[in-house]
Amino acid sequence: MQNAAVAEMFDSIADLLEIAGENPFQIRAYRRAAEAVATHATPIEDVPAAELRAISGLGPATSDKTREFLATGRVAFLEKLREEYPRGLLELMRVPGLGPKRVQQLYRERGISSVEALQESIANGELTGLAGFGGKTLAKIEDGIKRLGELSSNLPLIDALPLANLVARTLADVEGVERVEIAGEVRRGCESVESLDWVAQAGDAKAVIPAFLSLPFVQEVLETTESRARVRMRPGIEATLHIAPSGGWGSALFFATGSPAHVEEARNRNAELENYSDETELYAALQMPFLDPELREKTGEWDLKVRPNLVRISDIKGDLHAHSNWSDGSATIRQMVEAARARGYQYHAITDHSKALAMANGLNAQRLREQAKEIAEVQADFPDVKILRGIECDILRDGSLDLDDEILHELDWVVASVHSAFNLDEASQTARMIRAISHPAVDLIAHPTGRILGARAPYAVDVAALVEAASEFDTALEINASQRLDLKDEHARMARDANVLISIDTDAHSTRMLNNLEIGLLTARRAWCEPKDILNTKPREELLAWLKRPKSQK
């Protein structure tokens, strides 16, 4: 499956063209091509060359480049751009406060092509007097560099999980392999991972390791022994295949899953953990119930007397945060509802952006009322999926909402979230959000801390205060199942402990993105959530009843 690699190629071209100051529409065309390939349902290498252009978003230039990349592994156009613009410029683009124009200016006028060089130049006062770079701007850039440094460079779960699954499926097909399972941080559902792990059992271990080493994602072999192979994989991440000894599957899986702190505690309780054929027996020997992988973080799991009934994918009855092409989604309402029904959902919320998000073609009251007609039409054709007429309403700087109460009260379901003024101080940001939480029409606060893993730090906000307010006003909080994973596990656990309902939603902007629910589910499980803690485990009628709850008023 080369889709991700081709998409990455197009994104790189777009990034570099941006720095080159090329036509923004041309750049957008490359971004759309990346998106089209990334979300294409079949492996792009299986699409006949002549049919590439039929994919919406690919035209003559981009389908040629796709063919060139698939045939040779490289694209001359991109190589040429790379010669002209050093790699470090892309890193500079990630600094908050720096865009293509300033990066280009720094490179052209000062020869700066890395974050380190920029930092040094600012520190040495070499940029004073550079046109457009006043004191405040420089301070902002310095702050941006600091924030960039704080972002984790780990692979976000949303990327790690599909890769881990793909490798597991490939290994499972290798002749002689009896069993393969994902282990390590991915199995524990960590939000981002330093390394990938699998455990395999095979009649002939010697056949599995070469198959692993020859996977297309393997960049470099770091170590091979009788019982494991450690490599570096293409996104720059370490990956280990562990070979379980005959009769020792459970122990091998347990050790490869971790966490280190959890395993250490097990060792302290019983030094002999080597030869268990399944994990349940291993835990029984420790006089413990089976502990699900997501619990194994030494955050109280050893005190459990019975196995918690952690929420499962089959408990989820619908997605309560998803977009359509009325704002910035790519699919029609009908397509989204069809996809929701295909997932077996009982309900699906249409929550497009509100007008403040002009770039996303956000809806005002008039367009929301027009949208209602389309929802009604689709609803008539899908009686088994209740379509909730909703909105993702912007929370404005002062905590008021982007739409009037009148229209909000017409809707079945109101999601509120922050998309602007991320730099408020903690007290103001918290007060702003609590005002939204207390609003009588608001049902859910989406992505409460605003972070995007690996790309944007959370804004300053007192999550404990948000949880307290959510509890007081009977407002639900979201686990956003995307690259955001927001709330994160420990915040979701705070919410659960305060009996605040959590909704696990994908924030899907396409039908395929509805499939991301699983990573939010893993986060909820890491927060020890059971079905009763999750709003969208409620069957249809119960959810509709909950929506009629009287919200507390201060």
Partner DNA sequence: GCCGTTTTCGGCCCGACTGTTTTCAGTCG
Per CB under 7 A, which region of 115-123, 247-255, 308-316, 354-362 contacts DNA?
354-362
Total residues belonging to the chain: 554
For DNA, give the closer residue by CB, 360 or 485. Answer: 360
User: How far, in Å, CA of 251 to CA of 282, rounded?
Assistant: 7
For DNA, give the closer residue by CB, 97 or 245. Answer: 97
Residues 42-61, one symbol each (x = binds DNA by CB under 7 A, - = not), give -----------x--xxxxxx
For DNA, give the closer residue by CB, 52 or 295. Answer: 52
Kind plus residue range of the DSSP H or E element containing 319: strand 318-319
Q: How far is the CB of 173 from DNA (least distance, A)?
A: 35
For DNA, give the closer residue by CB, 99 or 247. Answer: 99
For DNA, give the closer residue by CB, 99 or 216. Answer: 99
For DNA, give the closer residue by CB, 419 or 493. Answer: 419
Q: Which of 39, 137, 195, 280 binds DNA (CB under 7 A)?
A: 137
Enumerate residues 60-99 that contact DNA by CB under 7 A: 60-63, 95-99
Per CB under 7 A, which region of 129-137, 165-173, 313-321, 470-478 contacts DNA?
129-137
Q: How far is the CB of 152 from DNA (least distance, A)?
A: 17
Enumerate residues 405-434 that contact DNA by CB under 7 A: 419-422
The verdict on 458 binding DNA (CB under 7 A) reads no
User: Closest Cα partner for 75 from 163, 1, 14?
Assistant: 14
Tokens 């030094």 belong to which residue? 271
User: How far from each other are the two terminal CA atoms of the chain, in whole angstroms?
Assistant: 55
Q: Which of 82, 110, 140, 367 binds DNA (CB under 7 A)?
A: 140
The verdict on 245 binding DNA (CB under 7 A) reads no
Q: How far is the CB of 124 from DNA (least distance, A)?
A: 18
Q: How far is the CB of 549 from DNA (least distance, A)?
A: 30
CB contact at 8 A, 308 and 290: no
User: How far, in Å, CA of 27 to CA of 366, rounded?
Assistant: 33
Q: Which of 358, 383, 550, 554 binds DNA (CB under 7 A)?
A: 358
Q: How far is the CB of 403 from DNA (least distance, A)?
A: 15
Q: How far is the CB of 373 from DNA (least distance, A)?
A: 21
CB contact at 8 A, 242 and 251: no
Q: How far is the CB of 75 from DNA (least distance, A)?
A: 12
Q: How far is the CB of 312 from DNA (least distance, A)?
A: 33
Q: How far is the CB of 408 from DNA (least distance, A)?
A: 20
Q: Which of 5, 7, 75, 103 binds DNA (CB under 7 A)?
A: 103
For DNA, give the closer residue by CB, 32 or 526. Answer: 32
CB contact at 8 A, 392 and 354: yes
Kind plus residue range of the DSSP H or E element containing 351: strand 347-353
Q: How far is the CB of 6 from DNA (least distance, A)?
A: 13
> Long-range contact list for 542-548, CB < 8 A, 24+ apart?
543/317, 543/318, 543/347, 544/386, 547/412, 547/413, 547/443
Instruction: Give me the DSSP letters along 383-448.
Output: TTSEEEEEEEEEB-TTS-BSS-HHHHHHSSEEEEE--S-TT--HHHHHHHHHHHHT-TT--EE-ST
* SS3 per residue for 237-292: EEEEEEECCCCCHHHHHHHHHCCHHHHHHHHHHCCCCCCCCCHHHHHHHCCCCCCC
Burial of 289 (0-12, 13-18, 19+ CB in 10 A): middle
Close Cβ partners of 109 (under 8 Å, ≥ 6 residues apart)? 130
List of residues contacting DNA (CB under 7 A):
23, 25-26, 28-30, 32-33, 53, 56-63, 95-103, 131-138, 140, 144, 328, 357-361, 397, 419-422, 456
